[in-house]
Amino acid sequence: MIQKSFDTPWKVWNEIARRITYPWTRFIFMLNGIRWGFGWKIYGTPIVQKHRRSHMYFGDGLSLRSTTSSNPLGPNHPVILCTWQKGANLEVGDNFAMTGGSLVSALSITIGNDVSIGANSSLMDTDFHPLVPMIREIDPDAGQAAPIIVESNVFIGMNCLILKGVTIGCGSVVGAGSVVADNVPPGMIAAGNPARVIKAVNFQNSQPEYN
């Protein structure tokens, strides 16, 4: 243990910083009426923007990294957790991990168990603003929304955008830098802009094959 601390001293400092900010982080979640789960590790306080008449839930084993030093990929900003409108639902299962990036729900985002999201990726179930100029002038916040579902054991790489109406099936992988506008079937690797299915995940290998 001592040798490991000498070899990776930044991890020691990250852990010290996590414990220092723990009271404030927990207060932010309490202030927003969000249950504090078992085994949470939150490095740097996330930005929580919860509509008073919305629902936000996170399972046990939550891991959020919001500080630049907490991940060598360097989050661009703290994790943002947002329920944008009345009645919005953001529900996340156990053992969820995310670095930087945003979860923005105007309608519904549901994430299963054992899901990991790479640095600076964002999931948003809304267009925010209408596409038609005349409607945008009347109501700039009237963008279309459709639920996002991320099933269990999904891995989403860094710098990805997951757009409204998308379902990512169980065990799938989304390659770094992808823009996902269509469903990804279970057990598949998808990548690109727009993202397309490349091949099936090789479940016989401990690491997915990309080539």
Average pLDDT over residues 103-130: 94
3-state helix, strand, coil in the chain (%, to 5): 20, 30, 50
The neighbour count for residue 132, using CB atoms within 10 Å, is 10
How far is residue 202 from each of residues 38, 124, 167, 171, 211, measured CA to CA in Å?
32, 29, 21, 10, 11
Burial of 39 (0-12, 13-18, 19+ CB in 10 A): exposed
Confidence (pLDDT) at 210? 41
Integer Cα distance of 174 and 6 in angstroms: 35
**Radius of gyration (Cα) for the chain, nearest Å?**
18
Chain segment 37-60, per-residue pLDDT in tens: 999 999 999 999 999 999 999 999
Q: Which residues contact 56 (CB under 8 A, 6 or more apart)?
A: 32, 34, 48, 50, 81, 83, 90, 91
Write out the catalytic residue numbers.
129
To the question of pTM greater than 0.85 for the whole model, the response is: yes
Least-confidence region, from 7-11, 50-54, 62-66, 72-76: 7-11
The C-alpha angle 69, 70, 73, rounded to 5 degrees, equals: 80
Chain segment 191-205, per-residue pLDDT in tens: 999 999 999 998 876
Q: Which residues contact 122 (CB under 8 A, 6 or more apart)?
A: 101, 102, 103, 104, 160, 161, 162
Q: Give which of 168, 170, 162 is closest to 194, Cα–Cα.
A: 162
Q: Residue 148 corresponds to which tokens in the numbers above?
A: 């996002």
Question: Domain map of the chain by residue range?
Answer: 2-200
2-200 maps to CATH 3.30.70.1140: no
The C-alpha angle 171, 124, 68, rounded to 5 degrees, equals: 80
Chain segment 10-26, per-residue pLDDT in tens: 788 889 889 999 999 99
